Structure formats: structure tokens, C-alpha cells
Amino acid sequence: MHEEQAGCPPDAGRRTVIRRAGDAGLAAVAVATAGAPLPASAGARMKAEATPDFGPNVLVIDPSMPGGTVQAAINAIFAQQEAAHFTDRRFAILFRPGRYTVDVRVGFFTQVLGLGMVPGAVTIDGHVRVDAGWLKGNALANFWRGAENLTLRPLEGWNRWAVSQAAPYRRIHLLGDLVLDDGGSSSGGFLADCRIEGTIRAGSQQQWYSRSSRIGGWQGVNWNMMFQGVQGAPATTFPDSAVTTLLRVPLLREKPFLQIDEAGRWSVFVPALRRDSVGHSWAQGSTAGSALPIAHFFLARPEMDAATLNAALARGQHLLFTPGVYRLDAPIRVTAANRVLLGIGLATLQAMNGTAVLEIDDVPGVTVAGLMIDAGPVRSPVLVQVGPPGCDGDHRHNPVLLADLFFRVGGVEVGKVETCLEINSHHVLADHLWIWRADHGDVDGSRVHVGWDESMGNQGLVVNGDDVTVHALFVEHFQRYQTWWRGNRGRTYFYQNELPYDPPTQAAWMAGSTRGWAAYKVDDTVREHEAVALGVYVYFRTNPQVVLESAIEAPRRTGVRFRHVTSMSLGGGVGTIAHLVNDQGAAAQPGATMQRLLAYP
């Protein structure tokens, strides 16, 4: 963004608590709670099913634990992760159903999850919050974290979630206001399936996508704010200001989540498909869907290789990736329908030998959610492939879901890839993607691998399948087409893109005879396509004289439609985008840095 294991077995009779030896804050919780009796209801739950062994980087909190030691354990994680902009450490903090008084500050590569069947099952009298104190209020680099499935009662009446990309806020009931910045710049973000009783204050947020929620109000508009299926959303004001509001979500399925039912059984809940929906999925008290027992999941650990994970899939198991970095020598292959691959704690899969990380056959109902995908030092043709090239299965009644998938190419390590995500299957749903070729490394400058000829990626997303729908698509800094759509009847609801910062010359960045590679390319063969609320930004810091001819290139036919397009030359005009769509729209350039286009054609 523009700015920038050694485990132990579960506690068989009582509870699973902390498993990081050598961390005094975490070890204290284990010692302090080892002899404390559980309340009768909690004890009954534990007898029903012991806590799974999620490994050393998962903190499972029970309401019977002393508040001081719980707070110490949470603080110990945050102390490690607050400024850990690039690290292999990953953590998940899981709250069992109950009520807590605690202040949870959420740092890098940390996910906070409630384990209830509904958000109200876990109530926190306090905060689950993100600030930007480590960068003096600048939240432009507050990536890679998340919170889900909680009710928050902040004593001051408001909670802060000052983030940029890859920091989802899902399934949260907040009794108060939500503040999305920390005084400095911020570049988020994503909120879905939430109920916010107060007002959401956008502050400095450059862009934000909110879906399938109920809010008390919204304050603040900057570059591109989109609301879809959100009760209480402001009315559309584009192009006078950058608000786009759609009343309904035509088709979606919420991300699966871990839960403990009233009998103490662990499962992964898979929400049902929703059509023409408005508001949060749990408005009537529960979410429609089905629960998969945790026994049906193979609990993956970072030291496992692809063969081990593929063997679990071949046995008919789903995969739950516990926190850590999985350096894979071969692809994970999904060959059966309805498999669930769910990551917790920002579990990260990295391609090490120039292969894909994940290959999915042309099968229906697969879910891949909550994972980071990293390119490795050997160039991969593709990192995640959904369906083989040329596949033609009809999955409209049971689509594949990709949710909260975050790709990285370069940064503090060299990364090389042709295409990060290739979708060949039809009827795929995607919900919150950030596909990023790094524009920066560590903020201290000690580890930076972002050069034009060093960390390389051609395309972020290529869609060959028909009837693919993407909600909240963030793609940045790739060297050719950022997004290349070649299938029919595709739909994109909200798009955020920054062009590569580093084209060395115009001659080095030409698509044939065209100046530059479009940020959003719809192939000439496409008959129907729709995209709404798109923002494309330029910051050619290596060579400000480089020009992109068109932010969006698409066939000139009535079935291919764009609404609410914004272009901007950042830094007061460091680079030029000559047109918004094909030859339409004025140039974003020095002296006229922001341009808007209501509709095309």
C-alpha cells in the first residue's frame, strides 16, 4: 500500500490453555488455571469433548480463567506482534462461550475468534482493537490480522479497528461506535456479517467495503466506499462523493467458522448459500447451514509436507491449518467435492519449488478460507488454481467459495510467480481477496526484496470461468494485468488497485503498442460483465513520466458494464492514468489528481 514447534497434548480432563514454552505471560496462565475448578456447565462441556490439540500458537480461553492471567497472556502475544510487520510467528486467540472483561490489542498475524454458535455466545466487556501506535498513528501498513464471531461491549462506547488491507472484521456485534483510523492515514478494508449498533467513523480510510450487515450510521467519505446489503448504509452519492450503495447481495455464502455447541462438541460451521440477501446472517438468532464435526478435520501443522496433507484429503478428511508457515515442496490437491480447507491464525502456505500451492479439481462445494499464500524464490506458473484449464462443470447450485485469501509476492523474501490466482471453474464465489506484489519490505529497511527484476509477478488474478462473482477484490502492483477477466457473466463488487510503483521506463512497460497494462482487463471475447465501485491509483515512484493509457480495458458492447470508477494520481501527481475506461474519462495526473466516471458505456 501507498504509505507502506513443540506442542503438548490437550488437557484431557479440564481444558486446553497455553502452549508456548518460554513465554512467561502465556506460561503463567497454564500454571494459574491448572488447579482451578470449572463451573458445572463448563465442566459438562469438557466431558463431552476435549479441546482439540491446535498446537503451540493457539490460545484457548475459558471464562473460568483468572482475568489477570488471561490479560497477561494476550499482552504477551501483542508484545511480540505489534510491530512484527514481517514475521513467521502466527497466533490465534480463541474464546470459549462466556463473558470476559479483557482488552485485546490485535497485532500482526493474529486472529481473535469467538467459539459460539452466534456472536452473542462470547461477550467481551472491553475491546478487541487495532491501533497504529507502532507507526505513530499511521495505519497504512496494518495488514494481516482479523476478528470474528464476538459481541463487544466497550466501556467507553466505541472500539477502534484502524487497519488497511487483509484485516477482516466479520460476524461482530458491537454495542457502540466503530472507529476505522488512528489519526493518521489508513487504507482498508473489509467488514461483513456484522451488527454495529453505533456509527462507523471512517476517518482517514481511503476505501472500505461493507457487506451483509446492519449499522447505526456511517460518517466519512474519501476515495471509494461501497455498501452492499447493509441496513443503515448511506445513500449513493457518486460521483459527487464516493459512496456506492447496493441494496442486496445477489449470491453469497459466509465464511465457515469454528464453534462449540451447547453440548460442548467442536465443529466447523459451514453457512448455507444466500440469495438476494440483506443484513447479517444471524439476524434471526442463528445462521442457516451445517456443522462438520472437528473429528472430520485433519489438524495440519506447519512442519507437515504436501504428501501428508494430501493423504488426509485422500482419506476423506477436511483440513484445518493451525498457525504457522507451511513451506510446501508440492501442491495440495483437492479432488473431491465439498472439502473445507480452513486456516486459523493467518496460517501461511508458501510455494518453495516453483509449483502451485493449491490445485482444486473441477468439483463443486469446495471452501478455501482464512489462508495466506506466498510466492517462493523459484518462479511458479500459478499459486492457486481453481479447476484445470478448459473445465466446464456446472456448479451453480453448489459453488466453490474462496474467502479471506491473501497472496504475497516478495517483501522481505524474494517471490516469483506468473499468476497468483487462476479461476477456471464456473460459478465460483470469492469474498475478500488481497493479491499483493510487495511494494515495500520491513519498515526499518533491513529486509527489502521488491525490485522490478527481483520479486516478479505478472498477473494477480486471472478468471477464465463463467459466472464468477467476487466481493471485495484488492489487487496491487503486478507487472502486467492486475486482473484479467476472460470468462462470461463475471461480477465484481468493489475493486481496489494500485499499479506497480516500479516500471523503470515506458518502453519496459508496454502491452504491445499500448502504454502500460490495464489495472482491470476484460478480454475481447467476453460478451457480458459487470463491475461496480472500482478505484485505480498510480504512484510511479521509480519513473513518474510513465503513463498508463487506460485504467480499465474492455470490449465496447452493451453487455459489458462498469459503474462508479475512480482514478487517482497519488503523491500529488506521481504518474498519469490517461483514461478511466478505454478512451473515456479525463487523465488523472499532476494538477488533476482525481477523476471519476459514473458509468460505461
Q: Is 581 helix (H, G, I), strand (E, B) or coil?
A: strand
Residue corresponding to grid cell 497455553? 18
Other Cβ atoms less than 10 A from the Cβ of 3: the count is 15
Average pLDDT for 357-364: 98
Residue 341 DSSP label: E
Give 43's pLDDT tier (boundaries 50, 70, 90): very low
Asked, as a colleague might, if the bond just before 239 is cis with ω within 30 of 0, I would say yes
User: Tens digit of pLDDT for each residue in 468-481?
Assistant: 999 999 999 999 99
Query: Which residues, at least 6 apart from 577, have a Cβ–Cβ distance to it below 8 Å?
Result: 499, 536, 538, 547, 548, 550, 551, 567, 569, 587, 588, 589, 595
Pure H helices in 318-389? none
Q: Is 585 left (phi over 0), alpha (psi -120 to 50) or beta?
A: left
Do residues 358 and 385 lie in contact, with contact meaning Cβ atoms separated by under 8 Å?
yes
Residue 378, amino acid: V
User: Tens digit of pLDDT for each residue in 213-272?
Assistant: 999 999 999 999 999 999 999 999 999 999 999 999 999 999 999 999 999 999 999 999
pLDDT value for 1? 52
What rounded mean pLDDT belongs to the chain? 92
What's the rounded Cα separation, in Å, for the pair 309 and 258?
20
pLDDT value for 188? 87
pLDDT above 80 (res 601): yes
Q: CA distances (Å), 558 to each of 160, 527, 530, 571, 588, in order?
A: 43, 9, 10, 35, 26
pLDDT value for 508? 97
pLDDT value for 13? 30
Do residues 91 and 111 lie in contact, with contact meaning Cβ atoms separated by under 8 Å?
yes
Share of the chain above pLDDT 70, in %: 92
pLDDT value for 47? 54
Annotated catalytic residue within 359, 498, 528, 553: 498
Q: Is 47 helix (H, G, I), strand (E, B) or coil?
A: helix
454 assigned to active site: no
Minimal CA–CA distance to 194: which of 175, 167, 221?
175
Query: Which residues, at least 6 apart from 19, have a Cβ–Cβ distance to it below 8 Å?
Result: 7, 8, 26, 30, 55, 56, 57, 58
Do residues 174 and 199 lie in contact, with contact meaning Cβ atoms separated by under 8 Å?
no
- Residue 2 sits at the vertex; the CA angle it makes with 374 and 345, to the nearest 5 degrees, is 35
Do residues 37 and 15 lie in contact, with contact meaning Cβ atoms separated by under 8 Å?
no
pLDDT value for 4? 35
Q: Is 29 helix (H, G, I), strand (E, B) or coil?
A: helix
User: Tens digit of pLDDT for each residue in 9-42?
Assistant: 223 332 333 333 233 334 333 323 322 333 334 3
Q: b/e string for 294-312 if b means 16 or more Cβ within 10 A?
A: beebbbbbbebebeebbeb
User: Tens digit of pLDDT for each residue in 343-355?
Assistant: 999 999 999 999 9
Helix (H), strand (E) at residue 171: strand 169-174
Average pLDDT for 445-468: 95
Average pLDDT for 472-498: 98
Query: Which residues, at least 6 apart from 480, have a Cβ–Cβ distance to it below 8 Å?
Result: 458, 459, 511, 517
37 or 296, higher pLDDT = 296
pLDDT above 70 (res 577): yes
Beta-bridge mates of residue 525: none
Q: Is 516 left (phi over 0), alpha (psi -120 to 50) or beta?
A: left
User: Tens digit of pLDDT for each residue in 185-220?
Assistant: 999 899 999 999 999 999 999 999 999 999 999 999
Residue 493, amino acid: Y
Asked whether the CA dihedral 260, 261, 264, 265 is positive or negative, the reply is negative
Q: CA distances (Å), 113 to each of 168, 215, 343, 410, 510, in order?
A: 12, 21, 12, 29, 46
Burial of 235 (0-12, 13-18, 19+ CB in 10 A): exposed
368 or 9, higher pLDDT = 368
**Domains delineated in the chain:** 82-247 (2.160.20.10)
pTM of the predicted model as reported, rounded to 2 decimal places = 0.93
Beta-bridge mates of residue 73: none
pLDDT value for 197? 98
Other Cβ atoms less than 10 A from the Cβ of 133: the count is 12
